[in-house]
């Protein structure tokens, strides 16, 4: 089967005018020119890769439609809604009554597919959210709230017993798990050949927490009853702290990276750890945006994520790419490669972050035949820029493994 379009963006090579993608058994065989068996109006792009989301929380969209004064204010509302009580008296042991996580995750998967995303780094907190959909990528089981004591007395065994349906492990964040737990999760992932993914450098208060074990995040985890001890703190800033525990490496990618110093960025490059940037989620939480200009200039591996609907207005990845573009320009990045590099981050970058280079996020021979068609002007002078600025909400067809997934699914 050959799919053609006036403009094809394969991402691994140059833009192809009057392009044709040759597909056999769900894989790309060749990208060439000419008229195909199926001709698409618009621009055909390699399937987008959302490198950080929690599709489980799609039903919590009411939480993500506001802007909060800070991270703590958002997290309190999130917990009230997640645990299903609005009066602030929730108890972690009584949670999860109200939500159908499977239906919610499936709804999220279809929202991704309908906007041109064909693979995701999806974090699952509750196993009910492990549902089948055409999406590729990696599913990460989240660990959160364990102290070294609770981990040793059953927490670890329980977590290991839940790993069957996933190929990744997500220690939630440096402040929501004890030191020993973080180190053991990294070992566990490597023993099993699984990927790692962690929220890092998101809130400005992480620094105070990891260095001194004080501040708003300390109060927050104490209120949650996590029982994390860490007396006196580690004396290390968040990125150094995780590195000292063996978390960082080419098999790990982090989400957010809002508060990264030049030293942090350099360490992440040395460890080959990619950063999934989620600028719209940062805005909802009242946080600063990441220093995308510095990450681009210094050559850090980057990817793009929407985060979940509990902290973002939509799962349309191109909206986050557009937000990154605005940030980069405001931060003084004016190089001519900006648009292409940002679309690369949303395709090749996401694939690399999950260890799936050559498999997803590109139309190169051997890759899964995942692509999306956007109803934008194929004659525009700057195709990458046009995709970023006009692509949101304009995806008209999505193919996964060569199959038209339609724009059906749950609404
Ligand atoms: Zn997240």
pLDDT tens by residue, 24-53: 999 999 999 999 999 999 999 999 999 999
Torsion sign, CA atoms 304, 308, 313, 315: positive
pLDDT class of 98 with cuts at 50, 70, 90: low
| pLDDT over threshold 80, residue 250 | yes
Q: Which residues contact 92 (CB under 8 A, 6 or more apart)?
A: 83, 145, 224, 225
Q: Which residues contact 309 (CB under 8 A, 6 or more apart)?
A: 57, 58, 59, 60, 61, 63, 64, 108, 315
| pLDDT over threshold 90, residue 348 | yes
- Taking the centre of ligand 1 as the mean of its atom positions, its distance from the CA of residue 122, in whole angstroms, is 9
- Taking the centre of ligand 1 as the mean of its atom positions, its distance from the CA of residue 121, in whole angstroms, is 10
Q: Are 283 and 64 in contact (CB under 8 A)?
A: no
- Taking the centre of ligand 1 as the mean of its atom positions, its distance from the CA of residue 298, in whole angstroms, is 25
CATH of the domain at 100: 3.20.20.140
- Taking the centre of ligand 1 as the mean of its atom positions, its distance from the CA of residue 72, in whole angstroms, is 14
331, 403: one domain: no
CA angle 252-257-261, nearest 5°? 110
Q: Which residues contact 323 (CB under 8 A, 6 or more apart)?
A: 279, 280, 283, 289
The total of other beta-carbon atoms located within 10 Å of residue 156's CB is 17
- With pLDDT > 90 as the criterion, what percentage of the chain qualifies? 84
- Taking the centre of ligand 1 as the mean of its atom positions, its distance from the CA of residue 378, in whole angstroms, is 34
Could you tell me which residues are beta bridge partners of residue 357?
Answer: 360
How far, rounded to the nearest angstrom, does the alpha carbon of residue 292 sit from its chain's CA centroid? Answer: 16
Could you tell me which residues are beta bridge partners of residue 33?
Answer: 19
Could you tell me which residues are beta bridge partners of residue 255?
Answer: 199, 276
Q: Are 275 and 257 in contact (CB under 8 A)?
A: yes
Residues with CB under 5 A from ligand 1 (ion): 307
- Taking the centre of ligand 1 as the mean of its atom positions, its distance from the CA of residue 23, in whole angstroms, is 34
Segment 336-359 shows an average pLDDT of: 98
- Taking the centre of ligand 1 as the mean of its atom positions, its distance from the CA of residue 43, in whole angstroms, is 30
- Taking the centre of ligand 1 as the mean of its atom positions, its distance from the CA of residue 257, in whole angstroms, is 12
Torsion sign, CA atoms 318, 323, 326, 328: negative
Confidence at residue 72, expressed as pLDDT on a 0 to 100 scale: 85
Confidence at residue 229, expressed as pLDDT on a 0 to 100 scale: 65
- Taking the centre of ligand 1 as the mean of its atom positions, its distance from the CA of residue 281, in whole angstroms, is 9
- Taking the centre of ligand 1 as the mean of its atom positions, its distance from the CA of residue 366, in whole angstroms, is 31
**Final residue in a domain of this structure, among 360, 380, 398:** 360
Helix (H) or strand (E) run with residue 44 in it: strand 38-46
22, 123: one domain: no
- Taking the centre of ligand 1 as the mean of its atom positions, its distance from the CA of residue 307, in whole angstroms, is 5
272, 367: one domain: no
42, 67: one domain: no
- Taking the centre of ligand 1 as the mean of its atom positions, its distance from the CA of residue 401, in whole angstroms, is 27
- Taking the centre of ligand 1 as the mean of its atom positions, its distance from the CA of residue 377, in whole angstroms, is 34
27, 73: one domain: no
78, 28: one domain: no
17, 128: one domain: no
- Taking the centre of ligand 1 as the mean of its atom positions, its distance from the CA of residue 278, in whole angstroms, is 9
339, 403: one domain: no
Q: What is the pLDDT of residues 263-301, one digit of tens each?
A: 999 999 999 999 999 999 999 999 989 999 999 999 999
Total of domains in the chain: 2
Lowest mean pLDDT, pick from 17-21, 61-65, 90-94: 90-94
Q: What is the pLDDT of residues 51-91, one digit of tens each?
A: 999 999 998 888 898 899 988 889 888 888 887 654 544 44
Q: Domain range spanning residue 159?
A: 48-360
pTM: 0.95
Q: What is the pLDDT of residues 209-235, one digit of tens each?
A: 999 999 999 988 888 877 776 677 899
Q: What is the pLDDT of residues 301-320, one digit of tens each?
A: 999 999 999 999 999 999 99
Q: Are 167 and 222 in contact (CB under 8 A)?
A: no
- Taking the centre of ligand 1 as the mean of its atom positions, its distance from the CA of residue 52, in whole angstroms, is 6
155, 36: one domain: no
Coil, strand or helix at 165: coil
- Taking the centre of ligand 1 as the mean of its atom positions, its distance from the CA of residue 47, in whole angstroms, is 21
| pLDDT over threshold 50, residue 411 | no
Q: What is the mean pLDDT of the chain?
A: 93
Confidence at residue 228, expressed as pLDDT on a 0 to 100 scale: 76
How far, rounded to the nearest angstrom, does the alpha carbon of residue 328 sit from its chain's CA centroid? Answer: 19
7, 58: one domain: no
What does the alpha-carbon distance between residue 293 and residue 260 come to, in Å, rounded to a whole number? 12
How far, rounded to the nearest angstrom, does the alpha carbon of residue 355 sit from its chain's CA centroid? Answer: 14
Confidence at residue 92, expressed as pLDDT on a 0 to 100 scale: 47
146, 188: one domain: yes
- Taking the centre of ligand 1 as the mean of its atom positions, its distance from the CA of residue 202, in whole angstroms, is 10
Helix (H) or strand (E) run with residue 398 in it: strand 395-400
**Final residue in a domain of this structure, among 360, 376, 403:** 360
CATH of the domain at 36: 2.30.40.10
207, 316: one domain: yes
- Taking the centre of ligand 1 as the mean of its atom positions, its distance from the CA of residue 305, in whole angstroms, is 9
The total of other beta-carbon atoms located within 10 Å of residue 231's CB is 5
What does the alpha-carbon distance between residue 217 and residue 238 come to, in Å, rounded to a whole number? 13
| pLDDT over threshold 90, residue 97 | no
């Amino acid at each position: 089967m050959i799919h053609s379009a006036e403009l094809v963006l394969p991402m691994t090579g140059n833009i192809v005018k009057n392009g044709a993608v040759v597909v056999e058994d769900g894989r790309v065989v060749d990208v060439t020119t000419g008229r195909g068996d199926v001709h698409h109006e618009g621009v055909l792009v390699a399937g987008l890769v959302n490198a950080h989301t929690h599709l489980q929380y799609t039903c919590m969209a009411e939480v993500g439609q506001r802007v909060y004064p800070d991270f703590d204010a958002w997290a309190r509302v999130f917990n009230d809604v997640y645990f299903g009580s609005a009066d602030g008296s929730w108890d972690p042991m009584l949670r999860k009554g109200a939500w159908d996580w499977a239906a919610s995750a499936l709804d999220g998967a279809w929202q991704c597919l309908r906007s041109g995303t064909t693979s995701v780094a999806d974090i699952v907190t509750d196993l009910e959210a492990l549902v089948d959909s055409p999406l590729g990528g990696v599913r990460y089981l989240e660990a959160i709230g364990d102290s070294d004591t609770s981990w040793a007395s059953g927490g670890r065994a329980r977590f290991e017993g839940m790993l069957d349906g996933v190929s990744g492990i997500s220690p939630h964040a440096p402040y929501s798990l004890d030191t020993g737990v973080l180190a053991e999760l990294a070992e566990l992932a490597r023993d099993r050949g699984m990927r790692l993914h962690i929220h890092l450098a998101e809130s400005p208060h992480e620094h105070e927490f990891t260095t001194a074990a004080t501040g708003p995040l300390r109060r927050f985890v104490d209120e949650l009853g996590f029982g994390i001890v860490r007396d006196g703190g580690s004396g290390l800033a968040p990125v150094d702290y995780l590195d000292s525990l063996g978390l960082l490496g080419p098999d790990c990618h982090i989400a957010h990276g809002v508060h990264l110093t030049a030293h942090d960025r350099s360490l992440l490059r040395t460890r080959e750890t990619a950063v999934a940037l989620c600028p719209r989620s940062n805005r909802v939480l009242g946080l600063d945006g990441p220093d995308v200009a510095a990450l681009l200039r210094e050559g850090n591996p980057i990817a793009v994520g929407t985060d979940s609907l509990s902290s973002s207005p939509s799962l349309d990845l191109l909206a986050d790419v557009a937000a990154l573009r605005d940030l980069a320009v405001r931060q003084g990045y004016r190089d001519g490669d900006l648009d292409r590099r940002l679309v690369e981050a949303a395709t090749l970058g996401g694939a690399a972050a999950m260890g799936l280079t050559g498999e997803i996020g590109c139309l190169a021979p051997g890759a899964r035949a995942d692509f999306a068609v956007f109803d934008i002007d194929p004659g525009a002078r700057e195709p990458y820029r046009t995709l970023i600025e006009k692509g949101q909400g304009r995806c008209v067809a999505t193919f996964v493994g060569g199959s038209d997934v339609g724009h059906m699914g749950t609404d």
